[in-house]
Amino acid sequence: MNQHAYMTPAGRRLIAVLAVAAPMLAAWPSWASTSGQSPQGWAYLDGGIGQTETESMESERGKYSLWIMTAGRTTGAHLADVEITIVNDKGEPVFERRLEGPWLMIDLPLGRYEVRSRYKQESQSRITTIHPGDHHQIVFYFNVEAEVLPKE
């Protein structure tokens, strides 16, 4: 007897949907970070959600002069939705973005910058100076409550 003879109509519909969806899922990008250019033309890459996306971004690090990572202070868990503003030595904002993931990589030209970060009500800043061939990393740790699963 056919192995599908005992399958319910709902089961057959599910198999049909999966057969149609499988090629589309296979074509889905392996990482979904956002790349772009600042108004000044500086390349940036934002994201880092999940292992595949983080590994893909790691392979691109050498292209960027500044790497910014955001995380929870007590847990070290990566943190998205942090507002980043980069200000030049004249006090002018030259880059602003709400991060889609915990990483921002940007290819800043030579110069001195203040990097400001804000998550909810907490703000922090760091100063960095980009020299020829430099690669700098800044880590911002924020006070966030750890998510705890409810007791059963």
The string over 96-106, giving b where at least 16 C-beta atoms fall within 10 Å of a residue's C-beta and e elsewhere, is ebebbbbbbbb
Measured CA to CA, the distance from residue 84 to residue 124 in angstroms comes to 10
Measured CA to CA, the distance from residue 21 to residue 10 in angstroms comes to 16
Tell me the CATH number for domain 34-142.
Answer: 2.60.40.10
pTM reported for the whole predicted model: 0.70
Would you state the structure tokens that stand for residue 49, as one six-digit string?
Answer: 């959600």
Measured CA to CA, the distance from residue 127 to residue 86 in angstroms comes to 10
Secondary structure (3-state) at 59: coil
| pLDDT by 10s per residue, the chain, length 152 | 555 555 565 545 545 444 443 443 333 343 356 778 888 899 998 887 777 766 777 777 778 999 999 999 988 888 889 999 999 999 999 999 999 889 999 999 999 999 999 999 999 999 999 999 889 999 999 998 765 555 55
